[in-house]
Structure 1
Amino acid sequence: MKRKGIMICGLNGAGKSTLGKEIACRWNAEWIDNEQLYFSNEGEYGTFCSSQTAWHRLYARLDDRAQANTPFIYCCVNNEDDDLLSYLDGIVYLSIGKEDSQARIRERSKRQFGTRLAEDKALQEREEAFFESVRRKDTGKIERWVENLERQGVPVLRLDAMASIEANANQIERWIAMIKKNRVETQDIVC
């Protein structure tokens, strides 16, 4: 299978989706956000589906991208499914501290829900439960997963989530160009 995409991973609030959209726009690639795979109406938070359904949706889209020879950018906190690696040119890990992560997701919630957040107690409770679940995430687990991928030879680019989108996007473009150049040179040697 021809590798055509990258996965951008990191804690909630790291800026994965924002950076992913920027890269997808630059490359004319499909942007796939993991959260959207869990909802029936893409872009709308409606009916939540099972993890198995979300996996099927992801792999159907990746297979379509491979058939169409279309690049993609897949954004998620982390995805430890080894089958996914065959679709990827590499993985971008956006590093962010828990305090910055919390500040960003709280700000995003305020932007998304506005005054409704203060008025709707059920929404407020749901958001607080989400904030707490992010706060409890084991950042060491994600870090160990990334280190394990590096040991396996998977190309990983570590970026500071607090850097500008422009700077990180430029760095990703240079990195991908280097990966593809190295792959071509290696193929030339083998042939």
Structure 2
Amino acid sequence: MIVTLALRVLQLLFGAVVLALSIVLIKGYGPAMAGATLGKAPEEPLMDYGAFCGAAGILIAAIGIAATFFEKLQGIVMLALDGLASFFLFAGAVAYAAKVGAGSCTDETYKGYLVKHFDLFRPSIYKEYHTTDVDKRAGLIEDDIHGRCREFQANTAFIWFMFACFVGTFALGFLAKSGRRGGAMV
């Protein structure tokens, strides 16, 4: 019960981090021109799915914490919710990992990490930086790209962490359910 509760608290924390990072990525992209595809975030569905994973993780973790104290919520309901969460988080983690990849957010060489993933990390062309100095604006855009790169990488990692926690609670729930029946399920 203590291990399950600890995993539920971690799920709640990781879910909050994933939701917050996803919202920062969505909001930090900048404004899109209504009806135009040029101003839209190139990976908006990926960022939206990250927000869904964070919110769903928080909700299921909260239900799981309540189930720890109310025995009627335990059992097949939590097993199903943990399995469902694990499935959706695995899909999100793989999608983020496939799109973001691995690399240094400061690698600006000709065929470097930032160049390969520029469309993913770039801010909107309509984003305001409140300066008329071209060099200062270029520096702010570069800082924005580096920051968005780090945020995407952190979001990828935290979705994987949350997935691992949900797999853990799923396994513990499965073992507890099979233990009550007098033997392992095959």
Whether the TM-score (by the shorter chain) exceeds 0.5 is: no
TM range (shorter): 0.3 to 0.5
TM-score (norm 1): 0.32
Of Structure 1 and Structure 2, which has the larger fraction of its residues in strand?
1
TM-score (norm 2): 0.32
Of Structure 1 and Structure 2, which has the larger fraction of its residues in helix?
2
* Higher relative contact order, chain-length normalized (CA < 8 Å, sep 6+): 2
Look at both structures and tell me which one has the larger radius of gyration over its CA atoms.
2
